[in-house]
Amino acid sequence: MKSIIAGALAALSLAGAASAQEYRARLPQDEVIYFALPDRFDNGDPANDRGGLSGDRLRTGYDPTAKGFYHGGDLKGLTRRLDYIAALGATAIWVGPIFRNKPVQGPKGQESAGYHGYWITDFEHVDPHFGTDADFAALVAAAHARGMKVYMDIIVNHTADVIRYRECGDCAYRSRADYPYRRRGGVNGSAINPGFAGDQVQTAANFAKLTDPTYAYTPYIPKGEERAKSPTWLNDVLLYHNRGNTTFRNENSEMGDFVGLDDLMTENPRVVTGMIDIFGGWVDRFGVDGFRIDTARHVNPEFWQAFVPAIQARAAAKGIPNFHIFGEVAADQLDPGPLAVHTRVDRLPAVLDFAFRRAVLDTVAGTRGTDAFETLIAGDALYEGGAAAAERLPTFVSNHDNGRFAFFVRQAFPKADDAEVLKRTMLANAMLLTLRGVPTIYSGDEQGFTGDGGDQDAREDMFASRVASYNDNRLLGTDTTTATAHFGEDNPLFRQIAMLARVRRAQPALTRGRTLLRAREETPGLLAVSRVDPATGREILLAFNTATTPLDRLVEVTGAGSATTLAGEGCAAQTAAPGSLRVRLPALGYAVCAIGATR
């Protein structure tokens, strides 16, 4: 196997090696990210649809007619569509988790499959439903040969649901105060774990004294699953919190099981070193370019303070100087404080920008004034490193957990026709691809996918789907449905994203430029923002109209002279006076205006 992987990685030609130096030099903010769940993207090898397992869907996890089971997409399918992704303008691919998962889990009658990749049993190898380690090596090599980066989606908070409790099935969380580590089953229980000073004393010597896991519940591993996880240290119940299910609030947000998933005791140095070894190994073996970290907010800060620099050092040793690490901190609000704290305290280099998504939802898929972006932009100062750090935040308007943007437009404006929904979606795309941050496109958005909500309802197949609840959706920009494959380049959303991605990549002001808020309103209407290239001083004015009526306004700029429309429509050809440019925007329109000459 190692020789096969080595051969795949060696497939880069001398020309590819030269381009490798070029893509390695790009900063995280220079990228346009494309996110895909392998199972829902393309089926390159039907032989692996059942993951090498036999039996019905409750054993193999495979049922292409059910939205909660494997559909057959794999790494070979993703690899053969790299040219499609490149044509869209993406320069980095965020690949949903590819690790071996527990095929099926859930209570009787409510089972679903690990098609999404977040129920890991083997952290060291590719899930057979997606292919092999060699297939992943081939994907990385093929992407790198095109100058594209590959980001892995990783999980350290939890594993698949293997551990059970003697007392109950769906167990409520039991706190450290009510069920301390040094008493069995509550404060009145018998003494256990003598000398253990609690999980806040995060030394190997202290955790060596934690020998009895029965402080809250009586955890056990069912017969036949004693060695279900890999590496083998993950099978030790003492390395998990074992306190019952989280409610995602307060103490249990970090300590509780995520809907039954086994919650790792990331305070324990054994878990810290083990996870660094696991994921550092993926960097060493495959030369990936970054990590998206699932459920990052549910892990204690000390873990990240050790993990991040260790992974960055592994990447640097591999010749990857700009390794992009960003955590998922699900905080569905405009206030960026709950996001920013994880860059200051946890020391995560970046987080997914949920505040950006909320600003776009509220203004373009809602009726809030464009002053929402003043809150967003002012909040950039809260991130570790300030506004410059905000340039590294992956921004998005749709994703696999929270749903697709077009769904929320239809929900907010039920009387809107498809033309208006398309305009609003294109306006959101324009904001995503020109404002600060790293734009992240969710696969299917470029093909007009609309979804029926979040989670499973937003995870449509790009290849021909057999799921009835997907195939009855009304897509944007096309008369087709998800019952047919969608890898064409003629959808107006595909063409728009590709065009804006080209503009973005050609203008350093749009990738690395500082942000100046020029105009905002307390009602739907004008949002104007300047992006200024720090190296040349070149200014690009971004103007967006969230109202359903046209607008004609003067907007402050820095320079004087000619103005060029790079995308959209409505930039005057000349400044009206030094420091002022007229924009005439159609309803739900936008304009990208380059001001004057490079200084």
How would DSSP label each residue in 82-94?
HHHHHHHT--EEE
For residue 398, how far is the Cα from the chain centroid? 10
Strand ranges (E), 421-525: 438-442, 514-519
Q: Please state, in angstroms and rounded to a whole number, the distance separating the CA atoms of residues 106 and 259.
A: 10
Residues 432, 446 contacting (CB under 8 angstroms): no
Q: Please state, in angstroms and rounded to a whole number, the distance separating the CA atoms of residues 348 and 215.
A: 32
Q: Counting beta carbons within 10 angstroms of the beta carbon of residue 531, is it exposed (0 to 12), middle (13 to 18) or buried (19 or more)? A: buried
Q: Counting beta carbons within 10 angstroms of the beta carbon of residue 195, is it exposed (0 to 12), middle (13 to 18) or buried (19 or more)? A: exposed
Per-residue DSSP letter, 30: G
How would DSSP label each residue in 231-293?
SGGGG-GGGB--S-B--SSTTHHHHSBBTTB-BB-TTSHHHHHHHHHHHHHHHHHH---EEEE
For residue 165, how far is the Cα from the chain centroid? 32
Strand partners, 580: 556, 577
Question: Annotated catalytic sites, by residue?
Answer: 294, 328
First to last CA, the chain: 55
Residue 503 token pair: 């503009």
Query: What residues have CB less than 8 Å from 273, skipping those under 6 apart?
Result: none
Query: How do 104-105 and 394-395 pair as beta strands?
Result: unpaired
Query: How do 551-556 and 580-585 pair as beta strands?
Result: antiparallel
Q: Please state, in angstroms and rounded to a whole number, the distance separating the CA atoms of residues 251 and 416.
A: 43
For residue 229, how far is the Cα from the chain centroid? 25
Angle formed by the axes of helices 418-434 and 354-364, to 10°?
Answer: 150
Q: Please state, in angstroms and rounded to a whole number, the distance separating the CA atoms of residues 152 and 149.
A: 10
